Structure formats: C-alpha cells, structure tokens
Amino acid sequence: MTAQRFQLYDTTLRDGTQQEGMVLTVDDKLAVARHLDAFGVGFIEGGWPGAVPKDTEFFRRARTELRLDTAELAAFGATRKPGVAAAADPQVRALLDAETPVVTLVAKSHPRHVELALRTTLAENLAMIGDTVRLLVREGRRVFVDAEHYVDGYRLDRGHALDVVRAAADAGAEAVVLCDTNGGSLPDAVRAVVTATAGATGVPLGIHCHDDSGCAVANTIAAVDAGVRHVQGTAHGYGERCGNADLFTVAANLVLKRGLPVVPAARLRGMALSARAVAELTGVPGRAAAPYVGPAAFTHKAGLHASALRVDPGLYQHIDPALVGNGMRTLVSDMGGRSSVELKARELGYEVDAGSETVARAAARIKDLENRGHSFESADASFELLLREELDGGGRPARPFEVVSWDVRVDAGPAGRAPTRARVRLRIDGVPLVAEGEGNGPVNALDRALHAALDPFFPQLSGLELTDYQVRVLGRGSEAAARVLITFGDGRRTWGTVGVDENTVAASWRALLDAVHYALLDTAAPAAAEPTRCAAAG
C-alpha cells in the first residue's frame, strides 16, 4: 500500500437516508451537501441515480446548483447485471448520466449473497466487477468499489473475497472499500481482515462500518490503524438499523487522537455547527450525548464534578470543546446542589457564591420544583428568572404585567380545517387589556395573542419568535402532568423555558409566560402606549 492522501468519504445522502424517519427532498439533499462540504469532507455520495428518481433529479440539479469547495461528488450504484454488457445496462448508464467525477460501485464479496441475491456464479461476479469498473474508468470517472459484506465474506471464502479486491483494482478502481455491512464485527476482526487483505493484495483499501455491535467508530479506527486511508461514514451515524459509523466522531478521533490530517484543524472548529445544521435539515436530531458535537458532550451535572470543574475544566474533559466548535455547559439539578447553581449562575454572568443565602434559596426552590416535574436542564431562561427573583427581591417576582385569564377555542367543521383562537386578559399598571390571536394550534395562538397584547407596550418583544416546543407526559392516571419545553429566538440567540401543569395547554402557557418575562428582564415599566383591545390573526 503506497502512501495515500487521507480520504474522508461521506454517505449521509445515500446510506444515511436509510435511517428510520428520514425523508429528504432534493432541496434538503443539496443543502446537506453544502454543509458537508463546508465541514471539509473529501467526497459526498449523493445517492443512487437511476434506482431512486429523487436521486437522479439530485444529480441533475447538482450540476448547476452545487458548487463544492473541498468535496468531490460521487454517484452510487451497482455493478452490471449478470449476462449483459456493462454499457448496455441501464443502471450503469444512469451512473454515467449523473456526470459526477466519482462513481462508487457496490460489489458482492460474500458467496451466499452472490448466489441468493445476484443468482449468478462467482466467476460472473468477478467479470461484472471488472467490466463495470473498466467502463467507468474509460469514461473518465474515478471509481471506488464498496465490497459489500466483505468482513463476513472473507471469513467464509477468503479466495473469492481477495479475488473481488484484485478484480476491482486491476480494472482501475482507486480503492476497494471493505464493508462490515451487517455491523456484527468487533475491532479485532476488522483489523485482522484489513491487515490480511492489504498483505495479500497490496491494493489501497477503504473501510465502511455499521454500528450493530456498538463498535462502528472503533472498527473504523482499527482499520485506519491497519493502514486504511479511505474512511466512510455518515453525519450523526445516520443509517439503517443501528446506523453507520459517525463521521463526526471518526474525524475528531483521527485528527485529535491520531494526528491524521483528515480535515484541517480550522474546519474541525466548525464541526458542531455543521452537525447542528445537518440535523436541522434532515429533521432527524442528532443524539444529545453524541461524542464531540452533541449538546451534552461537555455538559456536567454531578456535584462532585461541579466543584472540581471550578478548579480546572480540563480535569473532567478529554479535549477542549472549542477544538470541535462545542462548549462546556453545567446542568442545574438536585444532584449538584449549590455548586451547580453557582457554576451555572457564573456561566450566565452573575457573581454569586455557593455559600450565600441567595444560592441556598435558589437551590432549595429548584429542588422543590424538580420534585414536581420541572427540569431546568434545558431551560436556562427559567433558571435565570428564578435566580433573578432571589437576587432582586427574595423570591417576589417584579413582573411588568399581570395575567387575569386566558382561553383557547378550536372549531373543526366537516371540511376538516380547525381554526384555533386564543384570548388573553392581562393588566398592565392596573389597566385591563384583552387581546386575541389565531394560530395553527393552541400554543401558536396563545403566543400570537400575547404578542398582540404586549408588543405595543414592549416593542422589544416584536422580534421574539417561538422556534420549537416539546411536550412530555409525566406519570400516569390521576398523577399525570405535562412538562413543556419551549425554545425562543430573537434572531441573534435562542433560549429555553419550562412549564409544568396537569394540563398540556396550561403547561405551555407557563413556559410562554416565562419566555416573555425573560425577554422583559431589566424592563422597569411599559413604553407609553394606551391600553386597548387589539387582535392578531395568522
């Protein structure tokens, strides 16, 4: 194996879309490709033209709409069918018609799959690989060959597995990618098969792992340790069953723990941002606990750790989170007590001391609210409101308006539409005020009614937008309660609030109110405007 440039090959848009719950439009795929390119991957596999109509369309539009910086675009497809010429196989033609610089072919390397899925002979399988690679190379393509089920196939029939690798390389494939397709291998097996294959063939190899044994990342690293320089994976480990190797974790491990120039250090600093962008586009959230890029990856909860963290964050973190564009967070919970409250308060810019009365009172209130189902872990704004109440006035909220009552109406006719209207009755400086809002559900309608009521008095609220909410049902039966987490944004930053009530709409209302009160922190009195009745439709 000669020294190769390291190839980071992303297959989010092909293998990743086998993920349960992922349905991407062509626009989504183009947008994801741009983020992967910005992160710095070497190759982006866009889909299977000819087999999936949406993918054919993706490659057609990519020609004019996708300008890539670091990445080359790859089309994925299969070797020719048994018994036909490669040039006469419509599926192979579709690969050429995709007009990508790179084509990646899947080839069978496991004898049972050749027999049962292809229904042909091992000799014809080798001919199919050789013919198809040669045609694509002759047409000017760089070709990679994914040897499907290679790790298992090698153990069952070493001779045929090695023949597949040689057939692909002899025909001009740039690298042969050994796939652990069913994800059942552990790192020692992957390392052994890679080492033996490299030794027997001398062909440049790649690796493609699945996570069915929870070892996709470690298997990939094991293959790299054994000499592989082409690594496949997907954003967030998206993929069928247990998913593929997580390309973000693999890239960070290789750069930070192996010193391999997989992506430039500057690009790595944008990794968490790329990860968030991709998750938003696919609609399938990454794991909060995902290594390196997850919002919880550098989040500390334990009281033990919280005290040590004040001394030296490096004591409990394996890397500086800034290296991957992430940050340290502290969770406020009964586990951590006063130390956590102090740490969190300092993170938010308040100079408080764990030994103070204020922190003791805040910790006690948090503990009590948590016992009743609150969770402040992703509701920084609700935490800050509570802390401010303790700092300012010993627990008495100084609120710029009062709530008198509110209601919501949903009326669905036979046509199925269900207009939803909310009405809020408030008092500002003692003067009563009624406002209405219409929306696509109770939370949205209440949010609009609040804006209609308050924006004239507090212009700073007009940019405030509800960006997400989650409802969680706690407990069962008569003890059931709902916890609602709401995320707000004002275009520059976002913050979260929490509301708990036995009624889901009332829990949402509490979280909405916290969001508004948070936006009005440090607002003494309303702007001069005449209280009146107003309405917002939407």
Question: Within 284-303, which residues bind its own copies (CB under 8 A)?
Answer: 287-292, 294, 296-303
Residue (139 or 407) nearer to its own copies, CB: 407
- Return the number of the residue (189 or 203) whose C-beta is nearest its own copies: 189
Output Rg (C-alpha) for the chain, integer angstroms: 29
**Are β-strands 299-300 and 329-330 bridged in parallel, bridged antiparallel, or unpaired?**
parallel
- Residues of span 268-287 touching its own copies by CB under 8 A: 283, 287
Cα distances (Å, whole numbers) of residue 459 to 385, 444, 514: 20, 19, 17
Beta carbon of residue 222, minimum distance to its own copies (angstroms, whole number)? 7
Q: Which stretch binds its own copies (CB under 8 A): 158-166, 263-271, 315-323, 524-532?
A: 315-323
Q: For residues 117-136, which are near its own copies according to CB under 8 A?
A: 117
- Residue of 420, 426, 511, 531 that binds its own copies (CB under 8 A): 420
For residue 328, give both structure tokens.
């340290």
Specify the residue, 197 or 253, whose C-beta has the smaller distance to its own copies. 253
Q: Residue 145 interacts with its own copies (CB under 8 A)?
A: no
Distance set, CA 77 to CA 161, 172, 292, 437 (Å) = 20, 17, 32, 52
Binding of residue 246 to its own copies (CB under 8 A): yes
Among 201, 232, 444, 497, which residue interacts with its own copies (rule: CB under 8 A)? 444
Q: Shortest CA distance to 502 belongs to which of 530, 473, 534, 525? A: 473
Q: Which stretch binds its own copies (CB under 8 A): 369-377, 455-463, 516-524, 528-536?
A: 369-377
Among 221, 366, 385, 450, binds its own copies (CB under 8 A): 221
Q: Give which of 63, 60, 56 is closest to 77, Cα–Cα.
A: 56
Kindly state the smallest distance separating residue 413's Cβ from its own copies, in Å.
Answer: 5
Answer yes or no whether residue 344 interacts with its own copies by CB under 8 A: no
How far, CA to CA in Å, does 449 sit from each of 372, 437, 454?
A: 28, 4, 9
Which of helix, strand or coil describes residue 376?
coil
Which three-class secondary structure state does DSSP give residue 314?
helix
- Which range, of 51-59, 64-72, 131-139, 260-268, touches its own copies by CB under 8 A? 51-59
Residue 474 or 535: the one with the smaller Cβ distance to its own copies is 474
Task: Enumerate residues 164-193 that contact its own copies by CB under 8 A.
Answer: 181-184, 186-188
Among 397, 398, 468, 527, contact with its own copies (rule: CB under 8 A): 468
Cα-to-chain-centroid distance, residue 405? 39
Q: Which is nearer to its own copies, 26 or 62 (CB)?
A: 26
Closer to its own copies at the Cβ: 170 or 334? 334
17 binds its own copies (CB under 8 A): yes
CB 335 within 8 A of CB 299: no
Structure tokens at 350: 């308040």
Binders of its own copies among residues 471 to 490 (CB under 8 A) are 471-474, 480, 482
Name which position in 67, 259, 396, 411 contacts its own copies (CB under 8 A). 411
Q: Distance between CA 369 and CA 367 in Å, rounded?
A: 6
Rule CB under 8 A: is residue 437 a binding residue for its own copies?
no
In contact, 47 and 14? CB cutoff 8 Å: yes
The total of other beta-carbon atoms located within 10 Å of residue 437's CB is 25
> Phi/psi of residue 428, each to 5°?
-115, 120
What string of H, E and C letters represents the secondary structure of 25-49?
Answer: CHHHHHHHHHHHHHHCCCEEEEECC
3-state class of 438 per DSSP?
Answer: strand
